[in-house]
Chains A and B, each alone.
Chain A
């Protein structure tokens, strides 16, 4: 579709972004800025003093809890000096002289807490920075940390308290953690300036069933707090001050989709089986244990991808084995008798040692299994935790970003070592645990027949695979149109992978976005895919398609599609087949 990104019709402004999570919502804009550890000075009323001070105290208490938690995690991993620094930060939070001065100034100057905290602590910081020695400069850094922590906690509280009403969050960027925090409030939808359909925040909002439009570029510039917004998460439209006509059109569209979705829920308890009895594994991708309940309600027969990165990122220390184990066990127990595939930490090296290491080309760099093989202690800790959670034999291990057979062998050697360590500790685990890899590099596809003999299963990661095959960064808007999941090159890679796995009697699934795209379902089914792992919100829709088409017909469809030469023609054919098979499916064109 070619269309100006921003469309200004008198009072109504339409901005076209990327549809990230389905649904149509109407509500006031809540403009949220994260770059906010700058504390602005704002006057308060005398009647607001007490609640302002209560918020300060709550923020200090919250900050202390955070630091205590970091120390508890860090006890074995951090050196003594680092622990001491954190303890000193806790003492600053408990500094009665400092906090007394802050409270007095809030009362006397009728000024907001975050500004007074900033101003008061900055005084000390300036003294430290004016000293000649390096040691004092480092302490100024610690003081800065603790100040930012307090201010952030004050602001988060104000945010949450202001968010009591329903609103559409409009923000420059949204982290997965923000997404979860907001979702505890009554959030109608998310709209962000940055991001793509496959950003983690987008994936998470789909999973939480909160409509989202991302990649709007200038939404935060055009919108004012409280502006009425209509947002269409099916087509990626963000409309400021919508006209009555626009509202009416969107209401009708919303109604159409709602009726269809209600019918879908009814099939959540049925099997994912074609009319000619080919049974498919239809499972869910999740990142947080909080998503489990919803995934099960949607009819997930297993977790085909549990992303573990959020257990690692944004913390000061490696997570302890116990904590990892608790999470894996919770999921394994909840999903039993079905299985969960735990993907080991899939992060870029920069996430483990921020600032210490810069890569010109991170997508071709130190990530996935490459990082873990270089961090034996972290890798072994996670493997022990996964193994301990496998006693009911429903846990599987998956390695990301594999490009050579040697990596599989090296990773498996770590699994054996982790098993030996558990044997020595007399801990139970599933000695026959299934081990698989993500197929997401062209190297893995081209040597899939070799890799198949080294593993128990494959799961195709179409997002990265498409990027690597098309040589396109999906977040680079200049070339984003070349990110073609239905390009014949990508489809051939998928078919090769499936055929190689089946030739070695291994099963093959898909956990990339494509598995959850209704347009791709019949094609993938026809190619012989054994498992579809999708975001929970689309489970019933994919199941409905699987239940509506015979496997023998799907194979014919796949064969016909593979004869086509360009993505556009392929999409057209698949859309036509789908409309023919399931006329009631409200497809986005």
Chain B
């Protein structure tokens, strides 16, 4: 199991498009992917779950990866956050 902390850097925050991109990426890995924020735990492979995250620019999220390919999953997911979901 690996945990990481990320910050939302894109201006629009975690809206629908980034949520979709995140879920699509997470689905490529076997590892379970959980997002924790303000005491909530959300399955990062569920679009409807990720959509409930009110995460504006500057907010931080804790991520947990658990599974055989957790290393690669963590690296790619964190990279997506750091790139601001390829948005401005």
Interface residues of A (CB under 8 A from B): 84-85, 87-88, 91-92, 94-98, 121, 124, 127-128, 131-133, 135-136, 139, 143
Contact A95 B15 (CB under 8 A): no
B6 adjacent to chain A (CB < 8 Å): no
Given contacts A97-B49, A139-B16, contact A91 B23 (CB under 8 A): yes
A88 surroundings in chain B (CB, below 8 A): 16, 19-20, 47, 51
Given contacts A91-B47, A95-B46, A98-B46, contact A128 B20 (CB under 8 A): no
Given contacts A133-B54, A136-B54, A143-B48, contact A97 B19 (CB under 8 A): no
How far does the Cβ of A344 sit from chain B's closest Cβ, in whole Å? 37
A128 surroundings in chain B (CB, below 8 A): 51-52
Residue of B nearest to A87 (CB): B20
- In whole angstroms, how far apart are the Cα atoms of A91 and B25 in the complex? 13
Contact A97 B45 (CB under 8 A): yes
Residue of B nearest to A147 (CB): B48
A127 surroundings in chain B (CB, below 8 A): 40, 52
Contact B48 A124 (CB under 8 A): yes
Pick the contact of A121: B20, B43, B45, B48 (CB < 8 A): B48
Given contacts A91-B23, A131-B54, contact A84 B49 (CB under 8 A): no
Given contacts A91-B23, A133-B54, A136-B54, contact A98 B48 (CB under 8 A): yes
How far does the Cβ of A122 sit from chain B's closest Cβ, in whole Å? 11
A94 surroundings in chain B (CB, below 8 A): 47
How far does the Cβ of B33 sit from chain A's closest Cβ, in whole Å? 11
How far does the Cβ of B69 sit from chain A's closest Cβ, in whole Å? 18
A143 surroundings in chain B (CB, below 8 A): 48, 51
Contact B49 A139 (CB under 8 A): no
Given contacts A95-B46, A124-B49, A139-B16, 13 further A-B contacts (CB under 8 A): A84-B16, A88-B19, A88-B20, A91-B47, A95-B47, A96-B45, A97-B43, A97-B46, A98-B48, A124-B48, A124-B51, A128-B52, A133-B54
Contact B20 A95 (CB under 8 A): no
A133 surroundings in chain B (CB, below 8 A): 54, 56
Interface residues of B (CB under 8 A from A): 15-17, 19-20, 23, 40, 43, 45-49, 51-52, 54, 56
A84 surroundings in chain B (CB, below 8 A): 16-17
B20 surroundings in chain A (CB, below 8 A): 87-88, 91
- In whole angstroms, how far apart are the Cα atoms of A84 and B47 in the complex? 13
Residue of B nearest to A143 (CB): B48
A95 surroundings in chain B (CB, below 8 A): 46-48
Could you jot down 11 A-B contacts, CB within 8 Å?
A88-B20, A91-B20, A92-B51, A96-B45, A97-B43, A98-B49, A121-B48, A131-B54, A132-B54, A133-B56, A136-B54
B46 surroundings in chain A (CB, below 8 A): 95-98
Most buried by B among A96, A97, A131: A97
Residue of A nearest to B52 (CB): A127
- In whole angstroms, how far apart are the Cα atoms of A85 and B46 in the complex? 16
Contact B52 A124 (CB under 8 A): yes
How far does the Cβ of B32 sit from chain A's closest Cβ, in whole Å? 10
Residue of B nearest to A131 (CB): B54
Residue of A nearest to B44 (CB): A97
How far does the Cβ of B30 sit from chain A's closest Cβ, in whole Å? 13
- In whole angstroms, how far apart are the Cα atoms of A121 and B49 in the complex? 10
Most buried by A among B16, B20, B49, B56: B16
Contact A135 B48 (CB under 8 A): no
Residue of A nearest to B40 (CB): A127
- In whole angstroms, how far apart are the Cα atoms of A131 and B20 in the complex? 20
Residue of A nearest to B54 (CB): A131
- In whole angstroms, how far apart are the Cα atoms of A98 and B51 in the complex? 12
B49 surroundings in chain A (CB, below 8 A): 97-98, 124
- In whole angstroms, how far apart are the Cα atoms of A142 and B54 in the complex? 15
Contact A92 B52 (CB under 8 A): no
How far does the Cβ of A139 sit from chain B's closest Cβ, in whole Å? 6
- In whole angstroms, how far apart are the Cα atoms of A78 and B46 in the complex? 26
- In whole angstroms, how far apart are the Cα atoms of A41 and B52 in the complex? 25
B51 surroundings in chain A (CB, below 8 A): 88, 92, 124, 128, 139, 143
A139 surroundings in chain B (CB, below 8 A): 16, 51
B23 surroundings in chain A (CB, below 8 A): 91
Contact B16 A92 (CB under 8 A): no
A135 surroundings in chain B (CB, below 8 A): 15
- In whole angstroms, how far apart are the Cα atoms of A487 and B60 in the complex? 75
How far does the Cβ of B14 sit from chain A's closest Cβ, in whole Å? 10
How far does the Cβ of A501 sit from chain B's closest Cβ, in whole Å? 57
- In whole angstroms, how far apart are the Cα atoms of A87 and B19 in the complex? 12
Residue of A nearest to B43 (CB): A97
Most buried by B among A85, A121, A135, A143: A135
B52 surroundings in chain A (CB, below 8 A): 124, 127-128, 136
B45 surroundings in chain A (CB, below 8 A): 96-97
Contact B47 A85 (CB under 8 A): no
Most buried by A among B20, B40, B46, B52: B52
- In whole angstroms, how far apart are the Cα atoms of A92 and B51 in the complex? 10
- In whole angstroms, how far apart are the Cα atoms of A471 and B65 in the complex? 71
- In whole angstroms, how far apart are the Cα atoms of A397 and B56 in the complex? 54
A96 surroundings in chain B (CB, below 8 A): 45-46
- In whole angstroms, how far apart are the Cα atoms of A88 and B47 in the complex? 8
B56 surroundings in chain A (CB, below 8 A): 133
